[in-house]
Amino acid sequence: MVKEKTTLDIERNIGNFAYPETHTHSAGIGLTEKTINYICDVKQDPDWVREFRLKALKIFQSKPMPTHWASKDLEAIVFDNIRYYLSGGVKAKRTWEEVPEDVKRTFERLGIPEQERKFLAGVEAQFDSEAVYSNIKKAVGEQGVIFVGSAEGLKEYPEIFRKWFGKVIPTGDNKFSALNSAVFSGGSFIYVPPGVKVNHPLQAYFRINAENFGQFERTLIIVDEGAELTYMEGCTAPKFNTATLHSAVVELIAMKDAKIQYITVQNWSNNVFNLVTKRGLAHENAEVKWIDCNIGSRLTMKYPGVVMKGRKARGEVISIALAGDGQHQDTGAKMVHAADETTSNIISKSISIGTGRATYRGLVHVPKHLKNCKNNTECDALLINANSRTDTYPAITVRGTGNAVQHEASVSQVSAEQIFYMQQRGLTEAQAMSLSVNGFVNDLVRQFPMEYSVELKRLIELEMEGSVG
């Protein structure tokens, strides 16, 4: 067992290291028009992007913090203390050899180049504000698949980029989508041509190395008619005493008959505010599936959504949240039915440990004029300790006669008898807890590609190891 534990301990703190900052570009502390102009100058943004950003800044400044419904902990974010842009250059490298030594070593410690060799179709690695590495396997590129950073996307492929950018998630959607729109940098731009099925996942890894910093990547994925894509993102940051902000915007567009699967394993350190807006647009008979796993961060607010715009479109959110001591995972899903015969499925499982708090917020909207729409929502919460907390806020509006909705929710606690039973078979209390929790999420973990489900099980084990005794 000791051998196993040693490797696990390394994994536990896998992201908890930092190299000295060597940035050549910094927008300084705080957020003003000057900050925006600095970012635009460094990135050599076209004029329309500069205008887009400046307009977004005004919207951000005009919107109040959503503390009337969300956690008061948001007030702990001091926007004036944050650095909004840090980079060592704007151009992502195509080979790891070209990536600066410290940065390369960071991603090697996180296992990214190894995963790339093993099973990925392409990788983008973002370090603070910019992608430092971006590469796609030759065979995938030859099929016409585009996989570049957002800055490169908007410059090199403006006709596709501009058509969809900000259309699924408008700037004013919420305060943090406005913030992202003002200062966005990094993230992926992906286009999959009609009929192309990308067999292996494309992966992006988001790494925060700096303190007092905000990362604002912007991802735009367009999968054309009948095409298929699996995209995977991971993230870590070192543990700092100061608050770090991560506020991304991710827009997905699935054209007719297309399929997109978007997988997130969020493992930020416990000082990160993770406030992310993610939404997909599904055209006729298209499918958008979010598999969202939140293990890290201090506060996560994230409700991946699908707008089912075309007939027979399908939306799905599979969500796993693990709220450890002092963490708040405020997660859920939004399903907006906007055409007949659309179906959506939400399965959410959360685990609260110690003073950890898991909140589920779900929105399901089916307007009156639609026919034969279906939604299924299941949300299950598991409480580990007596002081753990879980809340559920479902908002379901289903009108019209031919539509069906099903909602099931459960809260359970790991019972002392169950733990005793497992201990009687020789497992320690922590092993018993871990097995119990893994069993609780097992049916969802199985939906992850194998490489990630193994990792996920280990992450859960690690969290449980520290939670008992």
Partner 1 sequence: MQQLNIENLHVSIGDQEIIRGLTLSVPRGEVHAIMGPNGSGKSTLAKVLAGHPDYTVTAGTVTMDGENVLELAPDERARKGIFLAFQYPSEIPGVTIANFLRAAVQARLPEGEELEATDYYAQLYKKMDLLEMDRSFTSRSVNEGFSGGEKKRNEILQLAMLEPKYAVLDETDSGLDIDALKIVSNGVNSLRGPNLGVLLITHYQRLLNYIVPDQVHVMVKGRIELSGGKELALQLEEKGYDWVKEDASEPALA
Positions that interact with partner 1 (CB under 8 A): 1-4, 415-418, 420-429, 431-432, 435-436, 438-443
Smallest separation, CB 338 to partner 1 (Å): 35
Among residues 221 and 422, whose Cβ is nearest to partner 1? 422
Among residues 16 and 423, whose Cβ is nearest to partner 1? 423
Among residues 223 and 318, whose Cβ is nearest to partner 1? 318
Smallest separation, CB 417 to partner 1 (Å): 5
Rounded Cα gap, residues 415 and 369, in angstroms: 47
Smallest separation, CB 431 to partner 1 (Å): 7
Give the DSSP per-residue string, 47-71.
HHHHHHHHHHHHHHHHSPPSTTTS-
Smallest separation, CB 8 to partner 1 (Å): 14
> Sign of the CA dihedral 449, 455, 461, 462?
negative
Strand ranges (DSSP E) for 152-199? 188-192
Q: Which residues of 92-123 are buried (b: 16+ CB within 10 A; e: fewer)?
A: bbeebeebeeebbebbeebebbebbeeebbbb
3-state SS class at 334 = strand
C-alpha dist (Å) from residue 291 to 39, 264, 347: 32, 6, 10
Smallest separation, CB 421 to partner 1 (Å): 4
Smallest separation, CB 422 to partner 1 (Å): 7
CA nearest neighbour of 36 among 52, 14, 59: 52
Rounded Cα gap, residues 69 and 356, in angstroms: 19
Smallest separation, CB 6 to partner 1 (Å): 9
Among residues 369 and 446, whose Cβ is nearest to partner 1? 446
Among residues 95 and 424, whose Cβ is nearest to partner 1? 424
Contact between 36 and 61 (Cβ < 8 Å): no
Among residues 72 and 425, whose Cβ is nearest to partner 1? 425
Among residues 73 and 429, whose Cβ is nearest to partner 1? 429
Half-sphere exposure of 419 (CA within 13 A, CB side): 14
Q: How far is CA 8 from the centre of its chain?
A: 24
Smallest separation, CB 3 to partner 1 (Å): 4
| Helix or strand holding residue 146 (H, E) | strand 146-149
Q: Which residues of 69-88 are buried (b: 16+ CB within 10 A; e: fewer)?
A: ebbebbeebeeeebbbbbbb
Non-local CB neighbours of 272 within 8 Å, separated by 6+ positions: 208, 237, 243, 244, 245, 246, 296, 297, 298
Among residues 369 and 425, whose Cβ is nearest to partner 1? 425
Among residues 123 and 437, whose Cβ is nearest to partner 1? 437
C-alpha dist (Å) from residue 15 to 78, 118, 245, 290, 461: 24, 21, 16, 24, 16
Smallest separation, CB 446 to partner 1 (Å): 10
